[in-house]
Amino acid sequence: MVVRKSFICLCEDVTVEELRSAIRRGYTDIEDLKRITGIGTGPCQGKQCLHIYREILAEETGIRIEDMPLTTLRPPIVPTSFGAWASRDDDEEADR
Amino acid sequence: MRDHAQVAIIGSGVTGLSTAYSLVNKGLNDIVILEKGHLASGASTRNGGGVRAQFTTEENILLAKWSIQRFRQLGLELKVNFWFRQGGYLFVAESEQELVSLRNAAEFQRRFGLGTKVIDCDRVQEIVPCMDCSGIIGGSYRRGDGILFPFPLLIGYADFLRSHGTDIETHCEVKHIAQANGEFVLETSRGELRVEKLVNAGGGWSSGVGRMLGVNIPTRPVRHQIMAGEPLAPFLKPMVVTLRDGFYMSQGPRGELIGGINESGSRGSDPGKSSAAFCEQFSSRVVSLFPMLSSARMMRQWAGFYDMSPDANPVLDRMPGVEDAFVACGYSGHGFMISPAVGEFMSCLVTGKKPPFPTEPYRLSRFEEGNTKSESLVIG
């Protein structure tokens, strides 16, 4: 059951009510609402929340869930340490 | 969508929004903003939020200095908090030659009343205690520079404008522009709009809008990449920039690191495509400058673009040969930080007032005349 104070995005502490309030201000685009509320921009990068977000947005706007797009997914797939990125070149050198 | 307005602004990026905001403040509120994607979907929602007046041309310094003063007020006016924090910009030099160029830039900036200081390595280390300064010989520092969080400012503008009569039509692409009976007839993907005046604020697409009016605008979008790190406890006060490779990094309002670097190799032209090579190049620099960040994680990475003009200075002008049409573009990576001044400038042109800046240096025709002085502090 979705209640007003349910969290959609646990990383950024965004509630259902916050999303609804942004929709009431006239924003209905999934990309705009991501930027207004911060949904999906924390360390999980939307893996926990994207589909809940899409469902609630579909419900609120009357758009069919099948027609509700995903937000743009950005690399890396999981947060990756600077050290790991930085060492990639060295590993490749060693393999040769 | 309505079919008539006094002014149409093409592009809902920060330039279009800021121009509309200044127009409304001058009493003109019959405005439609046309946006082909979602709100501010070009460079305005992809930029790093840096705000600085440390430039090397009068054109950029004047607009940036004015804008920094405005950023201090704008949150109150729009009733939003966009986290403008004046933690300074620190440019670091790793060679004698770089230090000389920073010294010359600081001297030039002082003519405009900026208090840019040239500092030695010890002072750099004091300002950024966690940075490995072994390769750094000095830098330039201006405390009044800083960072902001772009989204709340964009949304603040949009909310204000919508409640003051401006229509912002998103997912509405302008396909064709004709002129008839002293009006512009804009054919869009959502119907026809007739307007008296037209502002081209198309960012990376502004030269395309120019073509629809038969005007050649020699700016072009160049891809730049950027990344956000996971949120960390505050440790980095200024925006740090290295001259050698255009590395920059700041710590945003949520504690997240934001940064980029001058990409080596091919840049591609699709602003939507990011690359792993960027992540490796950027991270190598992070780890060498900030060894303590080795285990901190990159969370998110994306690409955007700078609308580059031939001299890396903005174009703010009437469209030559087309009465009542105006263009603001070519910011070359600095559009967000000078947007309050650009909005004021453009709203003056549209309403026939004199902008609070010299207009001569920003003209489009300067490129044909060959009379330009290039901005050299283009970072990232």
Spell B203-215 as b/e; 16+ CB within 10 A means b: bbbbbebbebbeb
Angle (deg, nearest 10), helices A30-37 and A16-24:
120
**pLDDT confidence of residue A90:** 54
The predicted model scores a pTM of 0.95
Q: Give A 38-67 residues with CB within 8 A of chain B.
A: 41-43, 45
Return d(Cα B25, Cα B119) in angstroms, integer.
Answer: 41
Contact B246, B240 (CB under 8 A): no
**pLDDT confidence of residue B275:** 87
Contact A49, A38 (CB under 8 A): no
Beta bridge partners of B169: B34
- Closest residue in chain A to residue B278, using alpha carbons only: A85
Q: Does the distance separating the beta carbons of A76 and B301 come in below 8 Å?
A: yes
Parallel, antiparallel or unpaired: strands B174-180 and B50-51: unpaired
Return d(Cα B29, Cα B167) in angstroms, integer.
Answer: 10
Q: Does the distance separating the beta carbons of A82 and B297 come in below 8 Å?
A: yes
Does residue B9 carry a pLDDT above 70? yes
Choose which CATH entry (3.30.470.20, 3.90.950.20, 3.40.50.300, 3.50.50.60) describes domain B4-48+151-219+310-369: 3.50.50.60
**pLDDT confidence of residue B102:** 98
Does residue B272 carry a pLDDT above 80? no
Q: Does residue A13 sit at the B interface (CB-CB below 8 Å)? A: no
What is the CATH number assigned to the segment(s) B88-143+222-308?
3.30.9.10
Give tens-digit pLDDT for A7-46: 999 999 999 999 999 999 889 999 999 999 999 999 899 9
Q: Return the domain boundaries, chain A.
A: 7-95
Give tens-digit pLDDT for B293-320: 999 999 999 999 999 999 999 999 999 9
**pLDDT confidence of residue B267:** 67
Q: Return the domain boundaries, chain B.
A: 4-48+151-219+310-369, 88-143+222-308
Share of chain B above pLDDT 90, in %: 95
B219-232: average pLDDT: 95
Share of chain A above pLDDT 70, in %: 91
Q: Does the distance separating the beta carbons of A45 and B300 come in below 8 Å?
A: yes
Mean pLDDT computed over every residue of chain B:
96
A86-92: average pLDDT: 68
**pLDDT confidence of residue B176:** 98
Homologous superfamily of domain range A7-95: BFD-like [2Fe-2S]-binding domain (1.10.10.1100)
Structure tokens at B291: 């060894």
Give tens-digit pLDDT for A53-62: 999 999 999 9
Residues of A with CB below 8 A from B231's CB?
42-43
Q: Does the distance separating the beta carbons of A89 and B294 come in below 8 Å?
A: no
Least confident of B13-17, B249-253, B268-272, B328-332: B268-272
pLDDT category at A71 given cuts 50, 70, 90 is very high
**pLDDT confidence of residue A96:** 44
- Closest residue in chain B to residue A79, using alpha carbons only: B299
In B184-294, where does DSSP find H-type helix?
A: 206-212, 276-289
Q: Beta-strand (E) ranges in B47-116?
A: 50-51, 89-93
